[in-house]
Structure 1
Amino acid sequence: MTSVLKLVVNKLDKLRIPYVLTGGLAVSYWGAPRTTHDIDIIIEIDSSKTASIIRAFDKEFYVSREEIESMLSHGRSFNLIHHKTGIKIDFWLVDKKDPHKVLEFSRALKKKIFGQTISIIAPEDLIIVKLKWCQGGESFRHLEDVKSVLRISKVDTAYIKQWAHKQGTLEIF
């Protein structure tokens, strides 16, 4: 997974596409290592980047123009699948209508991960996202992730409480 992450990040950097690593790999960085089967990345793009994304990734990954266009028009995600390993990379578009998502993207930190500088979600924002996912019913894994990050990383609890209150997840926190 490490080599695939580095490959993807290098390509995003070359394309000058702003990104933030999130999901299970971010939990493993800020909390206790845990198993994950994919790589989750938030990106900020518009339709002008579609062709360059396809050109950059199509030799080593399955990539679909239709999925990218659907993500751009409907705000969903699209994925790449690495041909050699089968590792899936889920790309999520920054939701510009959600004030926390915009802030989360801007608060990303540059950290040395697997020997490479990578933009990663701040631990507080990762917790806020995980609390929101708990509302969606997948609470056990997300709560364990929250506990793991709280146990290992120093976080700004006032910031977390502020956003948890705004999104209606303070009682979970």
Structure 2
Amino acid sequence: MQAFYDHVIKTLNKAGVKYVVAGGVAVVLYGYPRFTRDLDLIVLLEEKNLSKFYDALGKIGYVPKVPVTKEQFMDKKQRKRWQKEKGMVVFSFVQKDPPFELIDMFVDEPIKFSDLYEKRKKAKIRDMVVPLISIDHLKKLKLKAARPQDLIDVVQLDAMQRMGRAEK
């Protein structure tokens, strides 16, 4: 599983994509070990950046989980329609071959991207830099989602901050 994350992050970094890692992987990188089956990303939703993101994932074998074209994916109005009509929160990319790894990208900015990017943590992991959502923004997203695992994550992140094990 670690190889999956490493490969994707290295590829996105090399392509110059502006993004931050969020979700369960961010929780793990802040020091709370738990299982997560996907990689959640918040990507700058500008056309040029989305094009780089789409192409970079395509080069390493990822395709949209739903059959849409690159143009549809990059179309802001189309993404808004998916949100409104289908309740879409994330757009998923899946590896074409086993083990069918999943990347979820938020279709809208849950928090203004410029703020997320400015306050990101640049986590040095092995031989790469991971643009990691700030712990405070991560907790805000987790509280907004309010699923049972998200609430557990917030409790754990709070505890780690109190013990000085996680940066703000």
TM class by shorter chain equals 0.7 to 0.9
Is residue 143 of structure 1 aligned with residue 139 of structure 2? no
State the 1:4 CA deviation: 1.6
Aligned length in residues: 151
Q: Unpaired segments of 5 or more residues in structure 1?
A: 161-173
Say if 1:26 and 1:71 are closer, same or farther in 2 by CA, change over 3 A: farther
Q: Which residue is 2:32 aligned to? A: 32
Is residue 121 of structure 1 aligned with residue 133 of structure 2? yes
Q: Unpaired segments of 5 or more residues in structure 2?
A: 65-69, 81-88
Is residue 132 of structure 1 aligned with residue 144 of structure 2? yes
Q: TM-score, length-normalised on structure 1?
A: 0.71
Is residue 14 of structure 1 aligned with residue 14 of structure 2? yes
Superposition RMSD on alpha carbons, in Å?
2.9
Which letter does structure 1 place at the counterpart of 2:90? S
Deviates more, 1:54-63 or 1:4-13: 54-63
1:69 to 64, 68, 74: 74
Q: TM-score, length-normalised on structure 2?
A: 0.73
Deviates more, 1:71-80 or 1:1-10: 71-80
State the 1:104 CA deviation: 2.6
Q: Which residue is 1:108 aligned to? A: 120
Q: Is the 8 A contact 1:95 1:102 kept in 2?
A: no
CA distance in 1, matches of 2:45, 2:38: 21
Is residue 79 of structure 1 aligned with residue 89 of structure 2? no
State the 1:109 CA deviation: 0.8
CA distance in 1, matches of 2:59, 2:37: 22
CA distance in 1, matches of 2:51, 2:77: 13
Once the two structures are superposed, what CA deviation does each residue of 1:55-96 show, in whole Å capped at 9, x if it has no partner?
433243232326623667425532221234211011125528
CA distance in 2, matches of 1:43, 1:72: 17
Q: Percent identity?
A: 24
Say if 1:71 and 1:21 are closer, same or farther in 2 by CA, change over 3 A: farther
Once the two structures are superposed, what CA deviation does each residue of 1:116-135 show, in whole Å capped at 9, x if it has no partner?
2101011111111111112x
CA distance in 2, matches of 1:102, 1:154: 27
5 Å matches for 1:161-172?
none
Which letter does structure 2 place at the counterpart of 1:23? G
Q: Which residue is 2:102 aligned to? A: 88
CA distance in 2, matches of 1:17, 1:55: 10
